[in-house]
Chains A and B, each alone.
Chain A
Amino acid sequence: GDSVTQMEGPVTLSEEAFLTINCTYTATGYPSLFWYVQYPGEGLQLLLKATKADDKGSNKGFEATYRKETTSFHLEKGSVQVSDSAVYFCALSSNNAGNMLTFGGGTRLMVKP
C-alpha cells in the first residue's frame, strides 16, 4: 500500500538557517504530493502541493519539488524564522476515488532566535 517516510525530528535551527526536511514515498500510479503544517494550538493547514512529476510547489518561502525518479518531495526554505516553528507533515493522495491522504509521521521544527 501507499506509505510516506519523513525524517524524524525534532529539527532545531537558528533563525535565518537553511531548512531541509526529507520526505520519500511509496505509491502505485501517479500520486499528488503535499506538505501540511500544524502550528501550535492550530489545525493542519495545507502548505504546498505538487500534482505531477517535476512540479514545484511553493508557499511562504517554502518549496518542494516532485521527484519521481527518487520518489521524493523534500521540503526546503532558505531562511527560517521563529514563526516557522511547527510540525510539518508530508502526505500523498493516490489517484483513487475520494482523495484520501496518507501522511508521514511528522517532523517538529524548532527555530531559535
Chain B
Amino acid sequence: IAGITQAPTSQILAAGRRMTLRCTQDMRHNAMYWYRQDLGLGLRLIHYSNTAGTTGKGEVPDGYSVSRANTDDFPLTLASAVPSQTSVYFCASSTSGTDTQYFGPGTRLTVL
C-alpha cells in the first residue's frame, strides 16, 4: 500500500441500510478526515480525528459516525442511509491537524 486507500470504489445502497466506508493510510499520519463532495459545493468536512483514539465533528456530521482505533484506519459508518447522503466521499490524512492534507481516491455512494 502506498498512501491512502478507500473501499469500496462505488456502491449503490437501499435507503435504510447500514454502510461502512473504509479508509486506510500507511503514511503514519496522525490526523485523518472524512469529506463529502457534492456538485456545485465545496468539500464539506464530516468528521475528523487528530490522533488515534480521538474524533471530532465537522460541518455536516449528522447521520454519520466514525471511530479511530489505530493510526492507520478511519472507517465512516452510515447507520441508516438516506438519499441525501448520495455523494462522493473522500478520506484524507495529514501529519498533524495543521498540515497539508492528502486524499484517497474516493467512494461514490448512491442511496436509492
**Do A and B belong to a common assembly?**
no
Taking Cβ atoms with an 8 Å cutoff, the residues of A that contact B are: none
Taking Cβ atoms with an 8 Å cutoff, the residues of B that contact A are: none
